[in-house]
Amino acid sequence: MTKIERKKQEFNVEINQNRINYLYQLSTVVAEQCPGLSSTYNSILKGLSQKSLLRVDPEIKRNICKGCDTMLIPGKTVTCRIIKKSKGTIKWSCNFCGKSKTFRKNNNNCIWSENPNFLLQTVIHD
């Protein structure tokens, strides 16, 4: 409870976390119409996390292209294909620069954010 009382006193807390969240929202809105803007927003997102020593969630990092920093929305800016030979791995290839990334299918291994024990509780701010 002491932490929550401190937050009310200081009105400039968690600026960089909110800014990363806002830039991610902006780039999804603009991704279809003009991909040039979404790449600039995402490049600010990456540089800001490096400056302020904050880690970005892997779900966010997977939706950003490594080649040109555009937003990857399946069906609109990415083509998603299944490769049969390697037992159902999924391949994402960017429509603008052509770089591709593959997600292997292994049921035994999963990242920590996909694990159900990851969420302790959900807090809703008014």
Partner 1 sequence: MSNILYTPLTQTAFESSGTSNVENPLTVNQLTRQLLPLKVTNNEIDSGLKRVYWLGNYQHKKKPKPVDKCKPKNQLKRLLGLNHPPKDVLSYTDAMKLNELWTSYMKKIVNFDDLRKRGWDGTPGCKYWEQFMTSLYKCDFHGAHIKVISSKCCSYILVAGVIILETKNTFQIIGVDNKLKILPKDQCVFELELEGYLIQLYGKHFIVRSKDRSKKKIKDNLMLEL
Of 1, 2, 5, 51, which one interacts with partner 1 (CB under 8 A)?
51
79-108 in b/e form (b: 16+ CB < 10 A) is: eeeeeeeeeeeeebbbeeeeeeeeeeeeee
Q: Which of 1, 3, 5, 11 binds partner 1 (CB under 8 A)?
A: 11
Site for partner 1 (CB under 8 A): how many residues? 35
Report d(CA 92, CA 102) in Å as an integer.
6
Q: Measured on CA atoms in the order 107, 111, 114, 119, is the torsion positive or negative?
A: positive
Helical axes 15-30 vs 35-51, angle rounded to 10°: 160
The answer to whether 60 contacts partner 1 (rule: CB under 8 A) is no
We find the least distance from the C-beta atom of residue 54 to partner 1, in angstroms, to be 10
Q: Under the criterion CB under 8 A, does residue 4 sit at the interface with partner 1?
A: no
Stretch that binds partner 1, among 23-31, 55-63, 82-90, 108-116 (CB under 8 A): 23-31
Residue 22 makes contact with partner 1 by CB under 8 A: yes
Q: Which stretch binds partner 1 (CB under 8 A): 48-56, 83-91, 101-109, 111-119?
A: 48-56
How many distinct helices (H) and strands (E) make up the chain? 4, 3
